[in-house]
Amino acid sequence: MSIVLGLNRMPDGSEVMPEDWGGDMAKNRFAIYDVDGDGAEELLISVEDSYMAGMRTMIYCLDDNFQLKEELGIFPGAEYYAGGLVRAYASHNQTHGVLWPYSLYRYDPVQNVYVQFASVYGWDKENGDTDYNGDPFPTAADRNGNGSVASLQDAEGQRWIDDEELGVWEAEQFGGAEQLVIPWQAITRENVDALWDTV
Per CB under 5 A, residues contacting Ca ion are 34, 36, 38, 40, 42, 142, 144, 146, 148, 162-163
What minimum distance in Å lies between the beta carbon of 42 and Ca ion?
5
For residue 12, which amino acid is it?
Answer: D
Q: What is the phi/psi pair of residue 52, to 5°? A: -45, -50
DSSP string, the chain: -HHHHHH-B-TTS-BSS-TTT---GGGSEEEEE--SSSSS-EEEEEE-SS-GGG-EEEEEEE-TTS-EEEEEEE-SS-EEETTTEEEEE-S---SS-SSPPEEEEEEETTTTEEEEEEEEEEEEGGG-SB-TT-PBP-GGG-TT-SSEEEEEEETTEEEEEEHHHHHHHHHHHHTTPPBP----EE--HHHHHHGGGT-
What minimum distance in Å lies between the beta carbon of 122 and Ca ion?
10
What minimum distance in Å lies between the beta carbon of 142 and Ca ion?
4
- Closer CB to Ca ion, 62 or 194, in the complex: 62
- Closer CB to Ca ion, 54 or 83, in the complex: 83
- Closer CB to Ca ion, 15 or 164, in the complex: 164
- Closer CB to Ca ion, 25 or 78, in the complex: 78
- Closer CB to Ca ion, 38 or 154, in the complex: 38
What minimum distance in Å lies between the beta carbon of 34 and Ca ion?
4
What minimum distance in Å lies between the beta carbon of 113 and Ca ion?
12
What minimum distance in Å lies between the beta carbon of 148 and Ca ion?
4
- Closer CB to Ca ion, 13 or 145, in the complex: 145
